[in-house]
Every structure is written in C-alpha cells, then in structure tokens.
Chains A and B, each alone.
Chain A
Amino acid sequence: MTKKQKASGQTTGIRTTHSKELRLQIGIHSVQEEVSNVVFEISGWLNTHCVEENTVGELELVMAEVLNNVVEHAYLYAEDGEIDILVRLRNDRLRATITDKGRKFDGPPPLKVMDVENMAFEELPEGGFGWNLIRTLMDKIEFEHKNHKNKLTLTRNLTGKVAA
C-alpha cells in the first residue's frame, strides 16, 4: 500500500448530526512528506467547508508546525511513529487534536521573545519559531500526557460561517 492510500484510507468526513460538528480523522506516520500531504489535505477540507481563506492558511501553518515538532522531537525522525489527527469543525470554532506515542513532551513552551531586528547577522535564528507561531495563531492550547501518549488540543475561534 502506498503512503497516499494509507493516508486517505483512514480519512473520514463524518458529520455528527446532533452537534452540527464536522470531523476529519486521519492517521499518518512520522514522515515529513506525509506531514506535507496531510496538512494540504486538511486545508482542502477546511476550504470545502467554507472556512475563510486566510484562516485556512493560518491553520495549515499551525498543523504543519505541530506535526513537524512531533516528527522531530517525539519520534526523533524515526519514520515508523504513529500520529493521529482529529479535526472538529463547528460554526464558531475549530479544534484539532494531535496524538502521538513518542517521547514524552514537557508541554507547550511559553512565548519567547525573539528580537531578530537587533541580532547580529551570525546570531539570526534558523529555527525555534514554531511555538511562537502556534501561540500567536491559536486561541487555546491544551496538553496532556496519559497512557504513554502525548495529546495536544488546539482551539481556534471562528467568526465566519461553516457550510456543512
């Protein structure tokens, strides 16, 4: 089975009628190309459901940052790690839950001041932007480590209409 089939084979787009909540559930392996494909797929799904275009772009970025972190820090680039993604979309908010079974995560780091304008050329950061972006673009961040799993839930409040 190819990577693509694996990813799409586990995709569901079930609408839960009682709460008018749309769900997208996808499982991937800890491979950068799979992250690339899945965030593209998620942004397509959000577009389909009429989430505002700029918001979709921001959410795609947040998902990429979170999943890249899991690949790098939870699974240390081992390509057989499992990552479960659940996106729940309602009229007024989006919640994304990312679960992995990799190394224990200490929890989201605080916002860090990066005074890049006053840095020497040689000191300019080549990384470490991820959590600042996630914190800036999301409204709520929850984390728990339970049963050897890292579970991160990110919430973004939405104002626009979501068409089911």
Chain B
Amino acid sequence: MSRFEKIRDAIADTLNVSADSITETTVAGDLPAWDSLGHINVMMAIEAAFDTMLDPEEMNDLTSVPKILAYLDANDLD
C-alpha cells in the first residue's frame, strides 16, 4: 500500500467518509468532517498508521494531504 493510500484510508475510516472523496491534493477545508475536532482525530489516526508522534506544532500544521505527505517524506516514514 502506498503512502498516500495509507493516509487516505486512515482519514476516510476516521472521518467516516468514502475513500474516493480523498485525493493527493485534499485539504481539511474540502471535507466538512475534517473540522477542528476531526483534525485531532485525523492526527491520532496518522500517528497510529505510521507509528509516529507529532508535536503540537506539527499537529497544527498538517491540515492537508500534501502537508501530511511532505511530513512523512521528510521523516522517512511509510
């Protein structure tokens, strides 16, 4: 499973939206369920999916699929 697919599934499962509604360019604002509380849950899901620990600044920052992808890339996480 690619990095993007892992992110997509984590977000889709967490927010209860279809995987099709998430692309490599999706940002939080595209999905009503990805609101401020939804974002916390997405961050928890990303942490669990990639076995990482985000600091508060990263959590505040990673509000889109591209940013999450860039973070994983920078930290060499799959």
Please indicate whether A and B come from the same complex rather than being unrelated chains. no
Chain A residues within CB distance 8 Å of chain B: none
